[in-house]
């Protein structure tokens, strides 16, 4: 390998930071790694759900320099477009590369959002969310996936007395008979437990239902085309939307907009083979952080191999979850949570509540996030 190789990583979320650190550690002084970030801060998504209520940012939104290795060059900018040799940024820079890693993630709806939406102005964003939540009498959530379930858990923890007295109402409209996505990752027991917990805590559930905001009134939701429900605050949790800067590649993305990749992280739609995509922006069936260390190690090896051998490089495949239950905890405020553990021979078993709480709900991983992210 010559000494002049440049790797550009776009997006400084958990996967972008992990990729940039690992690739630089692999290349050592034989290559430059540039990490392009919209914000000066990293935003740790699994703990985001508590922020609108606590606005305690410690270890959830923190300086990139706490977790990015010193010899990775951080460039504060937004990538607007890319080819197979350079990215163009909002400030007008053209940054050339030998290999590109897209780690641009996806857009999450409010109240989670992303640095792509609020940049460095997270305090303003979460202050606004907090005020809306405080003053709302009826909060209605469209979509009962894990993010909305966790958010409702936080609402119940804070407003339990108001919900009991009727001063505040929380509702979820969901398109199946149980909460959480009706896919391979969440078993029936976990879905049942979450659904029952909501009912027991006074959350009104509209199951097997579709909710749309009335075209005539932004505070009215029409359920199944018939029933009209008024709510002063409506949140959507109907899936993530991948963020892919402009490009001219044909077939780079699938129908939902995710970058099509092999298990090597190499983008299928790029003939030169020098563009990789990792994390929420790629088309892996599973998105999340459980496999983060494996993924960082694989992309590290593969980018280095590509830089050495070009399109002849023999790249390694990573492991991911496909069509199977995953180890998972759904937090329900700091004191409650439900989880599942897929075990060899036993199948998927319920995680005891104390374990779910100590593993996730209590701190949402914040005590170890910087170590985890920098690793």
- Pairing relation of β-strands 73-76 and 31-37? parallel
142: which 2 tokens? 């469209």
Q: How far is residue 193 from each of residues 50, 111, 213, 339, measured CA to CA in Å?
A: 21, 24, 29, 9
What is the SS3 assignment for 73? Answer: strand
Site for ligand FAD contains 351 (CB under 6 A) = no
Minimal distance in Å, beta carbon 246 to ligand FAD?
9
**86-89 vs 94-96, strand pairing mode:** antiparallel
Is 163 or 244 the residue whose CB approaches ligand FAD more closely?
A: 244
Determine the Cα–Cα distance for residues 314 and 195; give it in Å rounded to an integer: 47
- The interface mask with ligand FAD, positions 49-88, x = CB under 6 A, is x----------------------------xx---------
Q: CB-wise, 229 or 364, nearer to ligand FAD?
A: 364
Q: Which is nearer to ligand FAD, 12 or 180 (CB)?
A: 12
The residue among 308, 256, 228 whose CA lies nearest residue 2 is: 308
239 is a contact residue toward ligand FAD (CB under 6 A)? no
User: H helices then E strands: how many in the chain?
Assistant: 9, 22
Only one of the segments 46-54, 135-143, 246-254, 259-267 lies at the binding site for ligand FAD (rule: CB under 6 A); that segment is 46-54
- Site residues for ligand FAD, window 241-260 (CB under 6 A)? 243, 245
The C-alpha atoms of residue 10 and residue 36 are separated, in whole angstroms, by 5
When binding is defined by CB under 6 A, the residue of 31, 153, 237, 279 that contacts ligand FAD is 279
Q: Which is nearer to ligand FAD, 90 or 308 (CB)?
A: 90
In the complex with ligand FAD, the residue whose CB is nearer, 217 or 285, is 285
Selected from 247, 280, 303, 313, the binder of ligand FAD by CB under 6 A is 280
Which CB sits closer to ligand FAD, 15 or 168?
15
Q: Report the residue number, 123 or 230, with the smaller CB distance to ligand FAD.
A: 123
Among the residue ranges 107-115, 153-161, 231-239, 296-304, the one whose residues contact ligand FAD (CB under 6 A): 107-115
SS3 category, 198: helix
Q: d(Cα 209, Cα 26) in Å, to the nearest integer?
A: 50
Is there binding between residue 289 and ligand FAD (CB under 6 A)? yes
Window 138 to 157, contacts with ligand FAD (CB under 6 A):
147, 150
Site string for ligand FAD, 195-234 (x = CB under 6 A): ----------------------------------------
CA–CA gap between residue 168 and residue 156 (Å, rounded): 10
Instruction: Give 229 or 277: the residue with its C-beta nearer to ligand FAD.
Output: 277
At 288, list the tokens. 């999340």
Q: How far is CA 285 from CA 53, 183, 227, in A?
A: 31, 10, 35
Residues 6-45 that bind ligand FAD (CB under 6 A): 10-16, 36-38, 45
Residue number with the smallest Cβ distance to ligand FAD:
13
Where would I find the beta strands (DSSP E) of 118-239?
138-142, 169-173, 204-206, 211-213, 220-223, 227-230, 233-236
Residue 105 to residue 12: CA distance in whole angstroms: 9
Residues at the site binding ligand FAD, with contacts judged by CB under 6 A: 10-16, 36-38, 45-46, 48-49, 78-79, 103-105, 108, 112, 114-116, 147, 150, 243, 245, 279-280, 287-290
């Amino acid at each position: 390998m010559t000494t002049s190789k440049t790797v550009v990583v776009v997006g400084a979320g958990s996967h972008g930071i992990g990729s940039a650190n690992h690739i630089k550690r692999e290349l050592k002084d034989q290559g430059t790694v540039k990490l392009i970030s919209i914000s000066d801060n990293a935003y740790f998504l699994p703990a985001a759900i508590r922020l609108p209520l606590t606005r305690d940012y410690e270890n959830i939104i923190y300086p990139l320099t706490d977790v990015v290795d010193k010899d990775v060059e951080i460039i504060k900018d937004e990538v607007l477009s890319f080819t197979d040799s350079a990215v163009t940024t909002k400030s007008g820079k053209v940054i050339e590369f030998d290999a590109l890693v897209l780690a641009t993630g996806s857009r999450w709806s409010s109240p989670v959002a992303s640095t792509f939406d609020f940049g460095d102005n997270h305090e303003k964003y979460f202050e606004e969310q907090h005020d809306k939540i405080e003053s709302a009498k009826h909060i209605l959530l469209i979509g009962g996936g894990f993010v909305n379930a966790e958010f409702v858990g936080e609402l119940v923890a804070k407003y339990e007395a108001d919900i009991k007295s009727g001063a505040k109402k929380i509702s979820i409209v969901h398109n199946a008979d149980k909460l959480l996505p009706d896919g391979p990752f969440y078993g029936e027991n976990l879905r049942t437990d979450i659904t029952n917990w909501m009912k027991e805590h006074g959350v009104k559930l509209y199951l097997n239902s579709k909710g749309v905001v009335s075209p005539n009134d932004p505070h009215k939701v029409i359920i199944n085309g018939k029933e009209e429900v008024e709510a002063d605050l409506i949140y959507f949790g109907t899936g993530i939307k991948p963020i892919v800067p402009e490009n001219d590649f044909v077939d780079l993305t699938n129908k939902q907009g995710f970058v099509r990749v092999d298990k090597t992280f190499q983008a299928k739609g790029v003939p030169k083979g020098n563009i990789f995509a990792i994390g929420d922006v790629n088309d892996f069936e599973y998105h999340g952080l459980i496999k983060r260390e494996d993924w960082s190690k694989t992309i590290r090896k593969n980018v280095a191999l590509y830089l050495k051998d070009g399109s002849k490089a023999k790249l390694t495949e990573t492991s991911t979850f496909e069509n199977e239950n995953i180890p998972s905890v759904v937090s329900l405020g700091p004191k409650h949570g439900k989880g599942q553990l897929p075990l060899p021979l036993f199948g998927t078993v319920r995680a005891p509540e104390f374990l779910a709480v100590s593993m996730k709900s209590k701190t949402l991983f914040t005590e170890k996030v910087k170590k985890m992210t920098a690793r």
